[in-house]
Chains A and B, each alone.
Chain A
């Protein structure tokens, strides 16, 4: 009579996989940059186009690089979180202003506050291509030596910062020479 239990047994097995599957993101692709030196760039700064922002500016400290644009709804959504992270003073946040109108970008920062130490203007999106960005917002955590430690796709919230990013950042700071 055990064969009549086969269907339910098979179903229970499937449900187990589905439960696990719900907490996984099938479209999440691990960044090939993890553990590797960040692709070098140097861009005009949003605040002062005469000066530049780039991998050289960020070197020497653990830092966040946040890809954003005024056209991106998710970026506006995570803006408060970025402001809060900036207020903690744990790590400096740099911005990559991606395919945007600099005037509109400056206006948005003036209205909503500016969490960035500096933002680079990536008008034609070349730097974003080097970094493997395929949608804003994306956030990278960089070690002092410029290695990419972590990448987050989508709007940040404070929980993710506290539970996932901050521990990694603190660890990286300890290892800092």
Chain B
């Protein structure tokens, strides 16, 4: 009976979403204030029922209700409680429900945060969010109902995919969805601007915190996924250019462009139509990602049960949402003109370059991801695009971007002089150059010119990001530094840290696959790995072979690692749990390969310098974003909007 309640709650939520989607938009068009006012309670009601439905599904997992097909397919009575809860979003149906819940949380937040916005504008934002929700609720109810019954009920469940039985992967999807779905809010703002034909650029200031918050969540979500892949897949790689990874990376690139473009629109009133296009594109790429992941049009390591029927549904939804948005854009955007100009050497020019390069980077990823599909569709045969393509082509737009970033950060709006800017950056540039050459020559072995350039770019970005905080420090006015400036400095510093980690790990990692018997040892660099023991371990729902490996640095024992090869009982699939000794400066990584008979195993041993900086950099970037959202400007924006509501409403309704 309880699962049916969950389904019933979803149906009610769909009805409320229809009300939220239709009434405020119709009200805004006909200036009917009653209709416009219905949006908010409808959204609140929808949230309550979606939450109820989500809790019902969670309850079914906690109670091991194997009469629900989705629970029977993705859980097991031996599964620990923590994973029974995370299993709720462990497969297609439940993750879709999570998606809808997250969308509702964003909608409610946008309504609460936007209560001071002009009534007409806000009604349209709420309406657009409602329509997006209608699409997803219809999708789940018509093609992917998580509450379908299994009659007769299963004795026990088929267990959660062992790959997902991991703490990082339990929180990775929610984080990622908060990022993906969050772009629905700037999208709704953009549509509202276009529908209204709104002149002025106050909307950019309203939209910016939402875009930034989504970007923060997406950054953390992607970083979590990368970290998980690193220690769980047993290869020691941190990014694979897999279609599903790319599906999350494209909105990230576009969202990054959007944040920067919003700054220009907010501060200088420029790039209006371009910013709107980016806002539409960022969310469109999120939807596109959903389509690519769920429809099975691409081959990926992510085993989402793909289904052409679901694929068709999302494609139609994608056509309606993105098609309508882009048509509206083509119709209304030409009116969004701005008359302000800027000199060739100005902050605007650098941000324009940033935007163009980020869009090129997005296209590089998009082309690589879709190439196999396009060639297959044209009857040109089967292709696959490997990491070589991405690694080689991706740096073409991103390297100049990193180099320009250090200058652009310190260039003034409107017009600036190279002489003035160079005073701020030349110390950092010289220092970065000297250090990059020194590191390439002295530290580790075997770097090339390209890695030296990469290290220079990383240090250059980091040092450039320090200029502003240091200037305020020298003046003794650290407390007066605006949070937005703090945010920018921190996020850019994080980017530099990330680049440093990525370049050094990719260039200087040492990797060795070796057959070892118990008692034997192998060495990587100055480290010696001794295979001490092999033993059986029993987990709650798996059995594992565990290796005991002692690591010696110049004869001194520094760590003991316990890599495992697990076999999960129900699905009988083998999983690798690597053993990692992590320090800020380097990781030592051991993964068990395959048994070679007797006590011998193939072992993968790796030395990965600075690999931690990759994720640390992402965390720093996210902190930067969070700090920037706290800036006074956005609080003042709210007061401004309150003050202007009567006038604004009068103008719009008059």
Contacts and interface: CB of A to CB of B under 8 A. Distances in A.
Interface in A1-54: 1, 4-5, 7-8, 11-12, 14-15, 17-27, 29
B373 A21 contact: yes
B326 A21 contact: no
B315 A1 contact: no
A15 B297 contact: no
Contacts of A12: 323
B297 A26 contact: yes
Interface string B316-333: 001100110011011001
Q: How large is the interface on A (under 10, 10 to 19, 20 to 34, 35 or more residues)?
A: 20 to 34
B316 to A, nearest CB: 10
A1 B334 contact: yes
Nearest to A20: B377
A128 to B, nearest CB: 19
Interface residues of B, number: 32
Contacts of B323: 8, 11-12, 15
A24 B291 CA distance: 15
Given A17-B374, A17-B377, A26 B296 contact: yes
Contacts of A29: 382
A27 B301 CA distance: 12
B299 A4 contact: no
Contacts of A24: 297, 373, 376-377
Given A24-B376, A26-B373, A8 B329 contact: yes
Interface in B256-312: 273, 277, 280-281, 284, 291, 295-299, 308, 311-312
B372 interface: yes
A50 B73 CA distance: 42
A8 B327 contact: yes
Contact of B281 (A7, A17, A19): A7
Contact of A7 (B315, B330, B382): B330
A24 B308 CA distance: 10
A17 B322 contact: no
Nearest to B324: A8
A15 B321 CA distance: 13
A18 B298 CA distance: 10
Nearest to B273: A4
Contacts of A1: 334
Interface of A: 1, 4-5, 7-8, 11-12, 14-15, 17-27, 29
The 9 A-B pairs with the shortest beta carbon distances in the complex, nearest first, are A20-B377, A8-B326, A21-B297, A4-B330, A26-B299, A21-B373, A5-B330, A7-B326, A17-B377
20 contacts: A4-B329, A4-B333, A7-B280, A7-B330, A8-B327, A8-B329, A8-B330, A11-B323, A15-B319, A15-B323, A17-B370, A18-B291, A18-B297, A18-B373, A21-B373, A21-B377, A22-B308, A24-B297, A26-B297, A26-B372
Given A1-B334, A26-B372, 15 more contacts: A4-B329, A7-B326, A8-B323, A8-B326, A8-B327, A8-B330, A17-B374, A17-B377, A18-B291, A18-B373, A20-B377, A22-B308, A24-B373, A24-B376, A25-B296
